[in-house]
Chains A and B, each alone.
Chain A
Amino acid sequence: MERKQNHGLTLRHQSRFKRIRENYELYLLILFPVAYFVIFKYWPMYGVQIAFKDFSASKGIWGSPWTGFENFQRFFESYNFWNIIGNTVYLSLLNLVIAFPIPILVAVMLNQLRQEKLKRFIQTTIYAPYFISTVVLVGMMFVFLSPSSGLVNIVIQLFGGKPILFMGESEWFRPLYILSTIWQETGFASVIYLAALAGIDPHLHEAAVVDGASKWQRIRHIDIPGIAPTIVVLFILAVGNLMNVGFEKAFLMQGDLNVDVSEIIPTYVYKIGIQRAQYSFSAAIGLFNAVINLVLLIMVNRAAKKISGNGLF
């Protein structure tokens, strides 16, 4: 009995070894990307421990003394903690509530167009801004919204209004952030929904037409349920990224006048960490952000699984 087992074990080992030896070239290939990931992805994860240390460059990551949660405590107690958290959460929630559904709406409407050429033209047009860089996007906002020469203010003045300092006034930061996101990303985001819509069985629509269903009824009862799984997956991903509102745009749109609403965790980490070289403190803020994100992702994934049966993992 024992013998047999041993025999089986060695055979399996042999075949394993053989399988590795046969494909040794593939292991050599994958060695390079693995090394890349170890250095550029895993090493920074190891470096996260400086959030719990008093890092000094001369002592290195390993040699710097532990401080426990001191850096986190300092952040929680800092005078602008609630302001920064509030700005981050508010901006991303606005983004989620307003910018997330619009690509779905656009995709469903586009899907109703019968003329293929027109459909393709609109799709191509609205996709284009995705290839414009954030610097150019924010630059365009400055140009269009300039109080002296911007088109928007010229129009406002034509109608007898007073020019508005859009890029300076705090109350305009959030609307402009969201609107520019919609402008830039709707076309790109609608691609996935269009693909999902194209995957719906056309027989369903034919049957519904025979039964006298209107376009609106078909959207409600066929299209929307048909793409619901895709919506759920993308929604989970969006919530999982809730705290990762883009550094680039907020940073570029930020000025002295709107800093009270535009200071979000990533811009704050940049200022404290890179500009003022307080590495441990800003690493702690970054880690705090990442942990909230991960918890959100897990929570919403679990909720989505319970409600709709669809989850990411």
Chain B
Amino acid sequence: MLARKTKSDIVFDIANYAFLGFFTIMILYPLYFIVIASVSDPDRIFTGDVWLWPSGLTFDGYRRIFNDPAIWIGYRNSILYAAVSAVISTVLVIMAAYPVSRKDFLGRNAFMTFFVITLFFNGGIIPTYLLIKQLHLIDTMWAVVLPSAVDAFLIIIAKTFFQELPGELREAAAIDGCRNIKYLLSIVLPLSKPIIAVLVLFAVVRQWNGFFDALIYLNDGDKFPLQLVLRNILIQSQPSGNLVNDIDTLLAKQRVTELIKFGVIIVAALPLLILYPFLQRFFVKGVMVGSVKG
């Protein structure tokens, strides 16, 4: 393209850089501030000294966080729930999506309608809660893992992917005497790594960040996922006893609590932010398959 810039284009470019620059800083700065604040002396934060660099370096917050059993239990539970949920979700979605992706599968539209209806109608919080109660799943891992494991949206994404696999593959396999299950396991699945990654990541992110199911179905603190533990520390400002009980004065307690808050924000967000460059690629793929073509 010709590099011919009119005056209005130059004005536009300046405005554009200013706008995007401002927006990017507004997004990035809070994240950055949390990082520097988590290793700064709380007193220096109160006086406004900490805004560009950490000041009065201290790792006291992290030391306390890593010594707190509640946080470790939350971490362990979140990892467990995310892993179990990812397996259940991925397996069930593939079991649903592969058959309906096949043109020779009689009743595919009926099955698809059966799944998609649930995107528009659902029982709502209370009937779902009563179901979980009826099934005696309250206060078990399954209450957190099962109800939200499969979503028709995921089935649509996976089905779209499977449909794009070349039909000739199956014809060739059929000639060699390869039946449906074997074909799915030995040919389709190895070719489906991208969609499996999308499904696993959706499930992991949902479990890692979610707290609603845990809030209504779990009472036992030993089963709380990380997000519920965090809620007590961050929002209800009730760090578990172990975090601050060695401190005598109320004021010092409050200071350390602030420090701990910065630290747990990092500790909670870190796993996903480390996975993030990888996550983003697959999420973009999944979202586009699901929304543009869906």
- A126 and B146 CA atoms in complex are apart in Å by 32
Query: A196 and B292 in contact (CB under 8 A), knowing A45-B127, A140-B30?
Result: yes
**Central interface residue in A27, A143, A187, A247, by most chain B CB within 10 Å:** A143
CB distance from B234 to the nearest CB of A (A): 3
Q: Mark B94-117, 1 if CB is under 8 A from A, else 0.
A: 011011101011100001001100
Residues in A lying within 8 Å of B, measured CB to CB: 16, 19-20, 22-23, 25-27, 29-30, 32-34, 36-37, 39-48, 50, 55, 57, 61, 106, 109-110, 112-113, 122, 124-136, 138-140, 142-144, 146, 148-149, 151, 154-155, 157-158, 183, 186-188, 191-192, 195-196, 205-206, 209-210, 212, 214-216, 230, 233-234, 247-248, 252, 266, 269-270, 273-274, 279, 282-283, 286-287, 289-290, 294, 297
- Residues of A contacting B27 in the complex (Cβ-Cβ under 8 angstroms): 125-126, 128-129, 183, 186-187
With known contacts A139-B261, A195-B288, A44–B127 Cβ distance under 8 A = yes
Binds A, one of B53-61, B62-70, B190-198, B276-284: B276-284
Q: For B133, list chain A residues within 8 Å (CB).
A: 57
Which A-chain residue is minimally distant from B49 (CB atoms)?
Answer: A154
Check B42 against A149 for contact (C-beta < 8 Å): yes
| Cβ-defined contact, B208 with A283, below 8 A | no
Cross-interface CB contact of A127 among B51, B126, B129, B280, cutoff 8 Å = B280
Query: In the complex, what residue of chain B is closest to A33 when comparing beta carbons?
Result: B96
Partner of A205, one of B1, B45, B179, B284: B1
Residue of B nearest to A183 (CB): B27
20 contacts between A and B (CB under 8 A): A23-B104, A25-B180, A27-B99, A37-B115, A40-B150, A44-B123, A45-B127, A128-B273, A135-B227, A136-B269, A139-B265, A142-B261, A144-B30, A154-B48, A186-B27, A209-B2, A266-B125, A270-B216, A273-B125, A297-B120
A196-B293 Cα distance, complex, nearest whole Å = 11
B284: nearest chain-A partner, CB-CB: A191
Residue of A nearest to B280 (CB): A127
CB-CB contacts of B251-294 with A at 8 A, as 1s and 0s?
A: 00010001001101100110011001101100110011001100
**Chain B window 122-159, contacts with chain A (Cβ cutoff 8 Å), 1 for yes, 0 for no:** 11111111110100000000000011011000010000
Query: Which of B6-14, B79-87, B242-250 makes up part of the contact surface?
Result: B6-14
Minimum C-beta distance from B56 to chain A (A):
14
Does A149 lie within 8 Å of B258, measured CB to CB?
yes
Residues of B within 8 A of A55 (CB): 130
B16 touches A23 (CB 8 A): no
Write out the residue numbers on chain B whose beta carbons fall within 8 Å of the beta carbon of A269: 124-126
A30 to chain B: which residues have CB within 8 Å?
95-96, 99-100, 111
Shortest Cβ distance from B183 into A: residue: A25
Chain A: CB-nearest residue to B216: A274
Task: Find out whether the CB atom of B231 lies under 8 angstroms from the CB atom of A131.
Answer: no
Beta-carbon contact of B127 and A283 below 8 Å: yes
| B interface bracket (residues with beta carbon within 8 Å of A) | 35 or more
Set A25, A32, A130, A289: member contacting B181, Cβ < 8 A: A25
Interface mask (B22-56 → A, CB under 8 Å = 1, otherwise 0): 01101110110110000000100111100100000
Shortest Cβ gap from B83 to chain A (Å): 17
Known: A20-B106, A143-B265. A50 touches B42 (CB 8 A): no
**What would 5 more interface pairs be, CB under 8 Å, given A25-B179, A26-B105?**
A26-B180, A131-B272, A133-B210, A154-B48, A191-B284
CB distance from A155 to the nearest CB of B (A): 7
Q: How far is the CA of A248 from the CA of B228 in the complex (A)?
A: 12
Residues of B within 8 A of A297 (CB): 120
Q: Is the CB of B231 within 8 A of A273?
A: no
State whether B231 touches A252 (Cβ < 8 A): yes
Closest to A189 in B: B287
- A31 → chain B, closest Cβ, in Å? 8
Shortest A118–chain B CB gap in Å is 9
**Given that A135-B234, A270-B125, A297-B120 are known contacts, is A122 also in contact with B227, CB under 8 Å in the complex?**
no
Determine if B16 and A37 form an interchain contact, defined as CB atoms under 8 angstroms apart.
no
B23 CB → nearest A CB, Å: 7
B205 contacts partner chain A, Cβ-Cβ < 8 Å: yes
Contact between A131 and B92 (Cβ–Cβ < 8 Å)? no
**A25-B180, A209-B2 are known contacts. Are A44 and B276 too (CB-CB below 8 A)?**
no
Decide: A248 and B125 in contact? CB cutoff 8 A: no
Are B16 and A109 closer than 8 Å at their CB atoms? yes
* Complex contact A122–B24 (CB within 8 A): yes
Whether B99 pairs with A106 at a CB distance below 8 angstroms is no
Assembled-state Cα–Cα distance A300/B128 (Å): 28
The 6 nearest A-B residue pairs measured at CB: A44-B123, A139-B234, A47-B127, A133-B209, A33-B96, A286-B124
Cα distance, A106 to B198, chains bound together (Å): 25
Q: Known: A126-B27, A128-B273, A183-B27. Contact between A143 and B130, CB under 8 A?
A: no
Q: B93 interface residue, CB < 8 Å from A?
A: yes
Contacts of B123 in A (CB 8 A): 41, 43-48
Bound-complex Cα distance A144 to B48 (A): 12
Known: A37-B150, A47-B130. A23 touches B106 (CB 8 A): yes
Residue with the highest number of chain A CB atoms closer than 10 Å, among B2, B100, B235, B288 = B235
Q: Which of A133, A148, A214 contacts B8 (CB 8 A)?
A: A214
Q: Does residue B199 face the partner (Cβ distance < 8 Å to A)?
A: no
B6, closest chain A residue (CB):
A214
Q: Is B230 an interface residue (CB 8 A)?
A: yes
